[in-house]
Every structure is written in structure tokens, then in C-alpha cells.
């Protein structure tokens, strides 16, 4: 499926984005191995999260949909059943990596597979530390499939994160619930902390210590996990595309309701405010996962050198950030973003290709990019952009087309459904001229 997008004078309105993908994955997993019934409100029904849900259905979990709620009948920390076939995670890197931390502790074997894109993504980053814990887990030369067999016991380890990855951290923390002793993760770059926050909501003891340059997270073996009712806020990563749209479409004024503003997720917000973006946070609700309504107005942006400390917690928003930088006045420099090369596509290369098609001067480096912005009065060339089947490249390119000099086509957009199944509908609600073809 392709998207055809026409430029617009402005966008306006009030919208809500779907539930947070990262939190949905974690809520489904923990509710499944909790004792008793949990109620999850605001679950993202994108393909990635549905794949995680289906995996647990294959292991005996009963899910009941009630309006906007998902009721999960937890079976306890050791209550999962052996699946009858390989567990297919589709396109979900979060799903397969986090679930591996749970599956290595089961008394049955599992084979974990995914689609062609997921099958090209690195798995050694979890296989190696999980093996250090005593897991019997193997990969296909660092790629899928993963084969997991029962092991006598797991032991807690202290592990410094070599890659700034919340997925690796979370896989080890989940495995730590089954391991003797303590499991401690040390990170020198702050990654998403949704696992740490949701552990608390399920009554799992977790210790987080921070120093100036290091953060350590420690868990111990759990005898049981309490059921819990979880309210999942709007996904900030999904909201970022509409933040971008309101910033770059002239005379725009947009309100996005009930968006998660967890401090480990809003690097994009800090970065674009530094560029001059007019964004107000209204109706702030504090809690385990804080939320706010975001009011965005069209803004003149200026180029910046992105603080490398923000990169790890805006990795999914980087395609949107590159588009914002392309319409800024001056040059934007991004370094320390090599992790983008290991996502659903090589996002650095994919975005370099997109900027080339849009007529933006740039230099691609191994760990980032230098972007020479067109300025507030600039416009992109109407062109054909190949998203390479990456949902975030597809959405960022579609929003960029609002400032093109004619109708643009974005190719291979089917995977938008992995994270944002109603993306096109919301676009149309606020005046974006987009067609599926």
C-alpha cells in the first residue's frame, strides 16, 4: 500500500493517539504471568502488540475484550503452557526480545520467529547476556530464529548495557524475576524506563539508583506477581508525527490529548523546543506514567547540534526530527545515533534516501547525519519516497509531504499498522489530504 499526500495550508483540531506501544507490550506480558485478573485500559491494537497477545494465547492465556478494556486472566509466574507451534512475533522487536527473558525460565522448549524484517535484526544483544544467566538459548548466527530449551536454573548477573537499548535491559529484568540472587543492569545512557515503572504497578520490588553518570536497576527472584489494573496513555512516539505536522504546516494549531510524557521518552520534545517549537503542556497528570495534553502551533525552527544524551530516548522519533531539521534555518548535526541502523530498516540510510528525494542537502555518517535546512519558507520537492516497509519512515515521509510543492507518493506503507492502525483516519480528521492506494 502507498500513500498519496498533497500539501496543505494548515491543520487544526483536537485528537487522541493510540495507546503506548512499549507499555502495551509490557502490560500484556506481566498481566499474563500475574496471579489473577488484570484490566488493561487503552491497549494499542496495532499489529506488533497483537502479535505479543497472540503469543501468550498460544501459551494458555485467556484475553477478553470489554469496550476499551482488555481483561487478562493471569496464570501465575510459572503457569504458562507449552505452545503447539513456533511463536511468531511478526515485526515486533520489542515483543520477541522481552518475551525471551520470560521464556528462558520455562520448563518447555520454544522456537521464536518473525517476519522477513525482524529476521534481519540483531538478536545476539540478548542471547549473550541471557546465556550468562544460564539460559539455553541459541540463534541463527545472531539472527532469528531463536531456539530456547529448559535449563536447570538461572542466576542473577550484573550487566553493563553495551548498547543503549531498553529492550535488552527489559529482557534481563524479566529474566531476573526467575533467577537466583540479584540481577543488576547498569546504564550510562538513560533508556526508556517503562519496565521499571510497570514492575511497581504489578507489585514487583525493584531498586533504581542514580549517580551523575550511571543508573543501576536491580531486581531479585519473584515468588508471585500481583494482578493490576493498568491505564495506558497515548503513545508519545505516535504523537510526534502530529507534533511535526502542526509545526511545519503554516498557521496550524493542534491539541493532542492524554499523551504519555515519561521523561525517558520525550527527548524529541526537548530537542524541538530547543529548535524554537511552540509547544505547551496542559492538564499535566502526575503518576507512574505522567500524561499531558500537548498544544502545538506552527513555528519557525532553527538548526541545532543535537545533545547526544537525548538520542537514546528519542530513537523512534528521529525520522520526525530529521524532517523538522530539514525545514529549520541553518544546519542540524546528529551524532551517536548508530542504533538507528538496527531498527525495522536502516533508518539512517532510509532517511538519507528520503531527504535526497525531498531535495534536502545532507551528509550521512555512520552514526548520524548533518542536515542543511531549507528554512521556514522552504518547500520539499514533490517526489516518490520508499519507506522500505518501515512504519516510522512511512509516517515521517507522509508528514513531510505537507510541505512539498505538489502531490507526493510514499511507497510500502503497510507496516504503519504495526504501531498506528488509524494513522490515515486521524490525518484526515485534522485536514491532511492523504489517500491510500
User: Model confidence over 367-387: pLDDT tens digits?
Assistant: 999 999 999 999 999 999 999
Whether 316 is catalytic is yes
pLDDT at 222: 97
**Bridge partners of residue 285, in order along the sequence:** 291
Element containing residue 399 per DSSP (H, E): helix 391-400
User: Do 168 and 269 fall into the same domain?
Assistant: no
pLDDT at 287: 87
Specify the number of domains making up the chain. 2
State the cell numbers at 298. 506552527
User: Do 353 and 395 fall into the same domain?
Assistant: yes
User: Do 410 and 310 fall into the same domain?
Assistant: yes
Long-range Cβ contact pairs of 61-64 (< 8 A, separation 24 or more): 61/32
User: Do 411 and 324 fall into the same domain?
Assistant: yes
Give CA–CA dist 144/110, Å, rounded: 13
| Residue stretches of the chain with pLDDT short of 70 | none
pLDDT at 388: 95
Catalytic residue (one of 20, 48, 235, 316)? 316
User: Do 194 and 289 fall into the same domain?
Assistant: no
User: Do 187 and 295 fall into the same domain?
Assistant: no
pLDDT at 384: 97
Range of the domain at 50: 21-231
User: Do 263 and 393 fall into the same domain?
Assistant: yes
Domain boundary among 209, 231, 253: 231
CATH number at residue 186: 3.65.10.10
pLDDT at 213: 84
Grid cell 520534545 is found at: 269
259, 266 contact by CB (below 8 A)? no
Give CA–CA dist 176/221, Å, rounded: 6
Grid cell 542543511 is found at: 372
User: Do 38 and 80 fall into the same domain?
Assistant: yes
User: Do 362 and 307 fall into the same domain?
Assistant: yes
User: Do 76 and 105 fall into the same domain?
Assistant: yes
pLDDT at 248: 97
pLDDT at 212: 82
Give CA–CA dist 6/151, Å, rounded: 56
Amino acid at each position: 500500500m502507498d500513500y498519496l499526500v498533497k500539501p496543505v495550508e494548515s491543520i487544526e483540531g483536537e485528537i487522541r493517539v493510540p495507546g503506548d506501544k512499549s507499555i502495551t507490550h509490557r502490560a500484556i506480558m506481566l498481566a499474563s504471568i500475574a496471579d489473577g485478573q488484570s484490566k488493561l485500559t487503552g491497549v494499542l491494537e496495532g499489529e506488533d502488540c497483537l502479535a505479543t497477545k497472540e503469543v501468550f494465547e498460544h501459551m494458555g492465556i485467556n484475553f477478553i475484550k470489554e469496550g476499551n478494556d482488555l481483561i487478562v486472566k493471569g496464570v501465575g509466574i510459572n503457569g504458562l503452557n507449552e505452545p503447539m507451534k513456533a511463536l511468531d512475533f511478526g515485526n515486533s522487536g520489542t515483543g520477541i526480545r522481552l518475551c525471551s527473558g520470560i521464556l528462558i525460565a520455562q520448563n518447555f522448549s520454544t522456537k521464536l520467529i518473525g517476519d522477513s524484517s525482524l529476521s534481519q535484526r540483531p538478536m545476539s544483544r540478548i542471547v549473550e547476556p541471557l546465556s550468562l544467566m544460564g539460559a539455553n538459548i541459541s540463534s541463527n548466527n545472531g539472527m532469528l530464529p531463536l531456539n530456547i530449551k529448559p535449563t536447570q536454573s538461572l542466576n542473577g548477573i550484573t550487566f553493563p548495557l553495551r548498547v543503549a537499548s531498553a529492550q535488552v535491559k527489559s529482557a534481563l529484568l524479566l529474566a531476573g524475576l526467575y533467577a537466583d540472587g540479584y540481577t543488576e543492569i547498569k546504564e550510562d545512557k538513560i533508556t526508556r524506563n517503562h519496565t521499571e515503572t510497570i514492575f511497581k504497578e504489578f507489585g514487583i520490588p525493584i531498586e533504581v539508583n542514580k549517580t551523575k553518570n550511571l543508573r543501576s536497576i536491580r531486581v531479585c527472584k519473584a515468588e508471585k506477581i500481583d494482578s493490576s489494573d493498568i491505564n495506558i496513555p497515548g503513545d508519545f512516539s505516535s504523537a510526534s508525527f502530529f507534533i511535526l505536522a502542526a509545526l511545519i504546516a503554516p498557521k496550524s494549531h493542534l491539541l493532542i490529548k492524554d499523551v504519555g510524557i515519561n521523561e525517558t521518552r520525550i527527548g524529541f520534545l526537548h530537542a524541538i523546543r530547543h529548535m524554537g517549537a511552540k509547544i505547551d503542556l496542559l492538564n499535566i497528570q502526575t503518576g507512574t506514567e505522567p500524561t499531558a495534553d500537548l498544544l502545538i502551533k506552527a513555528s519557525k525552527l532553527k538548526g541545532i547540534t543535537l545533545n547526544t544524551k537525548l538520542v537514546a530516548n528519542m530513537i523512534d522519533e528521529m525520522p520526525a526530527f530529521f524532517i523538522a531539521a530539514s525545514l529549520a534555518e541553518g544546519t542540524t548535526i546528529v551524532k551517536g545515533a548508530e542504533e538507528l541502523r538496527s531498527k525495522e530498516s536502516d533508518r539512517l540510510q532510509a532517511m538519507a534516501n528520503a531527504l535526497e528525494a525531498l531535495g534536502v542537502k545532507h551528509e550521512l555518517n555512520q552514526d548520524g547525519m548533518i542536515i542543511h535546512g531549507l528554512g521556514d519558507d522552504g518547500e520539499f520537492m514533490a517526489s516518490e519516497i520508499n519507506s522500505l516497509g518501515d512504519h516510522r519512515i512511512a509516517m515521517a515521509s507522509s508528514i513531510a509531504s505537507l510541505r512539498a510543492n505538489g502531490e507526493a507518493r510514499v511507497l510500502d506503507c503497510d507496516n504503519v499498522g504495526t504501531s498506528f492502525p488509524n494513522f490515515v483516519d486521524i490525518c484526515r480528521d485534522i485536514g491532511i489530504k492523504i489517500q491510500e492506494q
